[in-house]
Amino acid sequence: MIRAIVSFILLLFLAAGCEKEKDPVDEPLDPSLLLTDGFCLLSNREVVLNRYDIDYYDFGAHLIYLKSAGAFEERFQKPGSAFVYADSMMIYELTLVSWAASYIPQGPVIWYPHIFYPEYTVHIDIAWINTPFGNYGNDAGEDPREDPRIVEALKKYGQFRYGLQGGITSVRYNSPDDVVLELELRNEDSLNYYYWDPDKLGMECFHYVTTGLSLWDDEGGYYHHRIQPLSWAYADPDRMSLLESGSSVTLTLTYDHFDTIPPGDYTAYFEFPGPHSTETRGELDLEDGRIWLGDLYLNSEVVVE
């Protein structure tokens, strides 16, 4: 009789999709039986996020937009390991960890409490490992968050968006008083996006919301700009520019106060920021585009002569 009841419950799981109730202690369930197709996130043997919760996934920033604000944090109960699935196939493991934790996890991570992004989003970050923004993937140099199987699972339900993409075009270190950084920002999405424009913000305000340019050598030593940032964090469209769908823009930042760097080979890192402080979902949409949230972690090899 008990087995018949358990079998009936399993059928309900399969029919309803990702259920949130506890697994029977005496007969653990196969996690795949709890999964829908599309994107799913398991934590503590429970599904805490699935395609029914997701509006869309900004793949450039690895930022998930939820249909219901706060839906994710209401479901996961404690820190620890979690697992990303695509079409019922486990793709990679990540860590749910508190900002107050005394250790730094490795690889993909979701930080909580969710204080740096709006409550209608979930950000899958990469933890810092030997570099400012993490090691950008596993030992093979691959970022597990960008697995193509996740892309296909999201596209199946119209939940994939490119967001904004970017890269470091060049870094010219002429002297500590003349360091020129060129960035390319691309919009491969179907939407027009507003981005924070460093020319409109000014270098001091722009560097309140980004760590700015840094150069790292192979031994972990780093060199940084010396700009004194001015407080500015809220999403003001007057300080933004519109990047239309299918277009790109080159941004040039000139640093006139940088560390002295010896000749050699370096890796340049730069965080291109988006506003995180929009209070409601409705604030994102403007007349001719949407405000882009998130961050782009950019890197490039540089030779200083």
pLDDT, one tens digit per residue, over 18-31 is 443 433 333 444 55
| Nearest of 243, 232, 233 to residue 276 by alpha carbon | 233
Does this model's pTM top 0.85? My answer is: no
Query: Distance (Å, rounded) from C-alpha 2 to C-alpha 196?
Result: 59
pLDDT score of 33: 57
pLDDT score of 141: 55
Query: Distance (Å, rounded) from C-alpha 253 to C-alpha 256?
Result: 10
| Nearest of 193, 198, 177 to residue 250 by alpha carbon | 198
Give pLDDT tens digits for 58-90.
Answer: 999 999 999 988 777 777 667 788 999 999 999
By the 8 A CB rule, do 181 and 171 touch? yes
Domains of the chain: 19-155 (no CATH), 164-304 (2.60.40.2970)
Along the 305 residues of the chain, how does pLDDT read in single tens digits? 333 333 333 333 333 444 434 333 334 445 555 688 999 999 888 888 999 999 999 999 999 999 988 777 777 667 788 999 999 999 999 988 877 777 777 889 998 877 778 889 999 998 765 566 654 444 445 789 999 999 999 999 999 999 999 999 999 999 999 999 999 999 999 999 999 999 999 999 999 999 999 999 988 899 999 999 998 767 788 999 999 999 999 999 999 999 999 999 999 999 999 987 666 888 899 989 999 998 999 999 999 99
Cis peptide before 113 (omega within 30 of 0): yes
pLDDT score of 266: 96
C-alpha distances out from residue 171 to 7, 201, 217, 264, 300, Å: 62, 21, 15, 13, 9
Query: Distance (Å, rounded) from C-alpha 199 to C-alpha 184?
Result: 14
